[in-house]
Amino acid sequence: MTQPDHYLLGRAEAEEVRLKRQIANLAPDSDAQFEKIGIRPGERVLDLGCGPGGVLHLLGKRVGPNGSVLGIERSPHFVELARRFVNDHALTQVEIREGDAYDTGLPRGLSTAPICVSSW
C-alpha cells in the first residue's frame, strides 16, 4: 500500500514550475552522471521518485528504443504530470507507475539494472 504523500514543498503550480526549471537546469549534470554510471542502449532502468518528469527523457535517450525505463512516483498528481511529460516527449520506452519506493510491488531480483533515485 502506498504511504501518505508528505512532500514538504507541496504540489502547487509554483512548485511544478520550480521543478520543471530544475529539470532543465540540471539536465547536463544529470546526463554527465549517467555517462559515468554507464547506462547503455537496451538496458532496463528504474527511476524511484521520478517526480513530474525529472530525468526520464535523459534515461529514455540512453536506453534507446530497445531498453526500458520505469518511473515510480508516490504522488498521484506527479504521476499524472510524469505521464504527460512522457507523452509530450514521445518516450515509448518509459512507463510511469504510482507507488512507494519502499514497496514498489516489483519482484525481488528483477534486474541488476541501474537505479536512479530522484530527490524531488
Query: pLDDT tens digit string along 41-94?
Result: 999 999 998 988 889 999 999 999 999 999 999 889 889 999 999 999 999 999
**Inside any domain, residue 29:** yes
Number of domains in the chain: 1
* 95 falls within a domain: yes
CATH assignment of the domain containing 68: 3.40.50.150
Residues 60, 44: Cα–Cα separation, whole Å: 10
φ, ψ for residue 110, nearest 5 deg? -55, -40
Domain that holds residue 28: 13-117
Q: Evaluate whether residue 1 is within a structural domain.
A: no
Give a yes or no: residue 6 inside a domain. Answer: no
**Which positions ≥6 away from 60 have C-beta within 8 Å?**
69, 89, 91, 93, 94
In tens, the pLDDT along 4-55 reads 445 545 557 777 788 788 878 888 999 999 999 899 999 999 999 898 888 9
Residue 85 included in any domain? yes
